[in-house]
Amino acid sequence: MAYFYDEPSHTFSEYLLIPGYSSSECIPANVNLETPVVKFKKGKEPAIKMNIPLVSAIMQAVSDDTMAIALAREGGISFIYGSQSIDSEAAMVSRVKNYKAGFVVSDSNVRPDQTLQDILDLKEKTGHSTVAVTDDGGPNGRLLGVVTGRDYRISRMSPDLKVSEFMTPFEKLIYAGKDTTLKEANNIIWDHKLNSLPLVDEDGRLAYFVFRKDYHSHKENRLELLDASKRYIVGAGINTRDYAERIPALVEAGADVLCIDSSEGFSEWQKLTLAWAREHYGDQVKIGAGNVVDREGFLFLAEAGADFVKVGIGGGSICITREQKGIGRGQATALIEVAKARDEYYERTGIYIPVCSDGGIVYDYHVTLALAMGADFIMLGRYFSRFDESPTRRVNINGTYMKEYWGEGSNRARNWQRYDMGGDNKLSFEEGVDSYVPYAGSLKDNVGLTLSKVRHTMCNCGAMTIPELQQKAKITLVSATSIVEGGAHDVVLKDSATPGIK
């Protein structure tokens, strides 16, 4: 006979946190949101940690290299979508790894025989006023001089004047070697009162500019997530079909952590994928697996060697899996059970396997609830898709700006590998929709606001770290009537634009 659960499964909106004692030291500025990403042994440090507990979903409409750089800058990780060719996914990973914060490849370059008019045209096109003069007019040619607004006066000079006649020549420039660190470059800029510093290689070829104006923005990102070589940390999605080709390409490109992208992870396909990775890379490659929604699924993936386990079926905003197939579980209930299994596993083996709650975050406080319920970090799709940095188009619909957002199981993405059951290599039916979400601006501003709320709530619970929150949190189910009471009620709102995650 089938197994029947006694209790219905619940989702985040059905829970609230009950405040605990907060000391005067327990203030948002003192909250540390550091969290482990991959498994570790008791008493040891995890090989990868994040500074904030947010990762962006493995989706075409969410995680490309631009998103990955923006999120790593704030302290989280993007998982670059795997529903693209191996080459293009690896190229995205390598663009993130080669990105050097604060080091700009010059986009405004001329040859010395070009004219003042060419400089003016270039300025009009790029909006940038620092122009490199190189022997070939390219960004990495031999640096012969630099032109800025201080080198010419339009009213007094002919537009036909050759650049070589008014540029600041190389001999008079202050420059530094290509391997100068950002800190050293900034010190030189400061000491010499410069606006920009060219960095050149041993043959005098231009490598980068470091700009004074970027100094402050770099210093602002105190939580940015860097590897040992000071490159941004990035994740990438894999599937259970082409892993023998995709994993080596992603590892070669520099991916720090991989994740099997699958709608349902309690399967032999995942075990085979993890076994292949372990056989070829041992512990060198870090791989998360999922998704599961119960204890059994967690234990299966833990034994199969997953570095973290992802939880969630059917709760994603664009997901129609529950309607189409009738599988899934309320996200809160699934997470609570899996986190408990993780804790028992840790107790028994001394190995801590981080749990990622994936999908279904609607309000900022859902992030805090998920952490309190035992998640080490949260994967979000819709949330990130609304920002400038997501790869999708921003469109104006009836006067409101929207961004496109579509599921990996929609006809648009056709990510059949995510739903693969060893069939005929195609998506038999849709499990996701194609949609719009309200445009919300920059990732930095939104993540800042969300995490500010998380920090405040943690302080209300008397917790200054995520593990402390997980220990101290008091969580209650709420009745349907009290859910109504939770929003503004019995008043007429003057401005319906209430700020928040939605």
Nearer to ligand IMP, 109 or 263 (CB): 263
Question: Which positions make up the binding site for K(+)?
Answer: 314, 316, 319
- The least distance separating ligand IMP from the CB of residue 407, rounded to whole angstroms, comes to 2
- The least distance separating ligand IMP from the CB of residue 431, rounded to whole angstroms, comes to 4
Integer Cα distance of 475 and 356 in angstroms: 19
Q: CA gyration radius for the chain?
A: 26
- The least distance separating ligand IMP from the CB of residue 357, rounded to whole angstroms, comes to 10
Integer Cα distance of 208 and 265 in angstroms: 45
Contacts of 419 (CB under 8 A, 6+ apart): 262, 263, 409, 427, 428, 431
Nearer to ligand IMP, 109 or 385 (CB): 385
**Residue 116 DSSP one-character state:** H
Nearer to ligand IMP, 74 or 431 (CB): 431
- The least distance separating ligand IMP from the CB of residue 46, rounded to whole angstroms, comes to 22
Q: Which residues are catalytic?
A: 319, 418
Buried b or exposed e, range 275-314, using 16+ CB within 10 angstroms: eebeeeeeeebbbbbbbbbbbebbbbbbebbbbbbbbbbb
Under a CB-based contact definition with an 8 Å cutoff, are residues 55 and 356 in contact?
yes
Nearer to ligand IMP, 208 or 406 (CB): 406
Question: Which positions make up the binding site?
Answer: 261-263, 312-314, 316, 319
Instruction: At 453, list the tokens.
Output: 């709320």
Nearest residue (beta carbon) to ligand IMP: 432
Q: Which residues bind ligand IMP (CB under 6 A)?
A: 57, 59, 263, 312, 316-319, 321, 358-361, 379-383, 407-410, 431-432
* The 206-211 sheet, strands edge to edge: 176-177, 196-200, 206-211
Q: Rounded to 5 degrees, what are φ and ψ at 218?
A: -65, -45
Nearer to ligand IMP, 214 or 431 (CB): 431
For residue 246, the surrounding DSSP H or E stretch is: helix 243-253
Nearer to ligand IMP, 11 or 106 (CB): 11
CB atoms within 10 A of CB 491: 6
Strand 308-311 relative to strand 287-292, pairing: parallel
- The least distance separating ligand IMP from the CB of residue 148, rounded to whole angstroms, comes to 45
For residue 450, the surrounding DSSP H or E stretch is: helix 443-460
**In which region does residue 422 sit, left (phi positive, over 0), alpha (psi from -120 to 50) or beta (all else)?**
left
Under a CB-based contact definition with an 8 Å cutoff, are residues 245 and 37 in contact?
no
Beta strands in 128-274 (DSSP E): 131-134, 143-147, 168-169, 176-177, 196-200, 206-211, 235-238, 257-260
- The least distance separating ligand IMP from the CB of residue 57, rounded to whole angstroms, comes to 3
- The least distance separating ligand IMP from the CB of residue 406, rounded to whole angstroms, comes to 7
**Burial class for 218, CB neighbours closer than 10 Å (0-12, 13-18, 19+):** middle
Question: Which positions make up the binding site for NAD(+)?
Answer: 261-263, 312-314
Nearer to ligand IMP, 361 or 402 (CB): 361
